[in-house]
Amino acid sequence: MEIVITGSAREAAIIAADAFERLLWGTDRAVIGLATGSSPLPTYHELIERHGNGRVSFARTRVFLLDEYVGLGPEHPQLLRSFIEREFIDQVDVPANALVVPQCGPADLASAAETYERRIANAGGIDLQLLGIGRNGHIGFNEPPSSLVSRTRLKTLTTATRQDNARFFGNDPDMVPLHGITQGIGTILEARHVVLVATGEAKSEPIAKAVEGPVTAMMPASALQLHPHATVIVDEAAGQQLRHADYYREIYRNKPVWQHF
C-alpha cells in the first residue's frame, strides 16, 4: 500500500489524475471504476481540464460506477448515475453506453448484482478503481461490517452515512435511501489498481485505522492492505492521525522514477 500525503486537495487530485492519465496513455481500452461523493470531485475537475487541453481522451474507455442507491426513481437527480454523468461523464468524451451502473430498478436485485459482476468480468476487469472513504471506513456502500470477500450486493446504509449524504437530499437524512447496491470488497480488490482519495479532518480517523490498523470487516477500507497495488492519497488534514506519516513522506520523496503508479 502506498500512502501519499499531499499539501492540498488539489494536489491530491493532480496525483490521482496522473494515475488515470498514465493508464489512458498505456492501454488501448481502459476500464475504469468511478466513485461519487465529494472526495473525487477535484480529480474529475482535473481530468475534465486535461481532456479540454487534449491531454487525455476517454473515447475508448468503459466506466463502471462503484455503487448506486436503491429505491430512487429512474430520473431522480440524486441517483449516483445522474451524479457521475453530471460531474464527469457528460464533460468528457466517454462514449454513449460506456457507463455501466448496478441496476436498481428490478425487483430481483440479486440477479442485477450478478449481471453487474458479469459485465465487469466480460470487460476484462477494472484497470483503475477510484474510491473515497466514509467516516466509518466504508468504501462504496460496504458499510461495517462487510465481508472482505463480498461481491456486488445490496447493503443497508448506516444512520451515519445517511446523515453524511443528507446534504445531497435537502439536508434531510430521511430522504436518503436506506439501501444501496455496491461492488463488494472482493470485487474492489480485483481491480488492478485502486486509488483512494481522502481529504479533510473528518477522514483522518478512518484513514489511520484503514492504513495502520488491523484488517477487519468493521473497517472495510482496511481490506486495501490486502491489495497488491493500492494508492491512498490524502491531504495533511486527512493524514494527521497517521503514526508513520514521516516515513510515508520519505518513501514518496525517494520513489524511484521507474516505479510510478
Residue of minimal CB distance from ligand F6R?
Answer: 132
CB 246 → ligand F6R: shortest distance, Å? 26
Among 8, 25, 27, 38, binds ligand F6R (CB under 6 A): 38
DSSP string for residues in 213-242: S--BTTBGGGGGGG-TTEEEEEETTTTTT-
171-177-179-182 Cα dihedral, nearest 10 degrees? -70
- Answer yes or no whether residue 134 interacts with ligand F6R by CB under 6 A: yes
- Answer yes or no whether residue 136 interacts with ligand F6R by CB under 6 A: no
Among 33, 37, 137, 239, binds ligand F6R (CB under 6 A): 37
**What number of residues does the chain have?**
261
Window 60-119: residues binding ligand F6R (CB under 6 A): 66-67, 80
Cβ atoms of residues 120 and 187 within 8 Å: yes
- Answer yes or no whether residue 137 interacts with ligand F6R by CB under 6 A: no
The three cell numbers locating residue 9:
486537495
Distance separating alpha carbons of residues 47 and 57, to the nearest angstrom: 9
| Binding footprint of ligand F6R, residue count (CB under 6 A) | 15
Amino acid at 54: G
Minimal CA–CA distance to 48: which of 76, 23, 74, 84? 84
Residue in this structure with the C-alpha cell 518513501, named with its chain if needed: 251
- Answer yes or no whether residue 35 interacts with ligand F6R by CB under 6 A: yes
Nearer to ligand F6R, 36 or 150 (CB): 36
- Answer yes or no whether residue 33 interacts with ligand F6R by CB under 6 A: no
**Which residues in this chain contact ligand F6R in the complex, by CB under 6 A?**
35-39, 66-67, 80, 132-134, 138-141
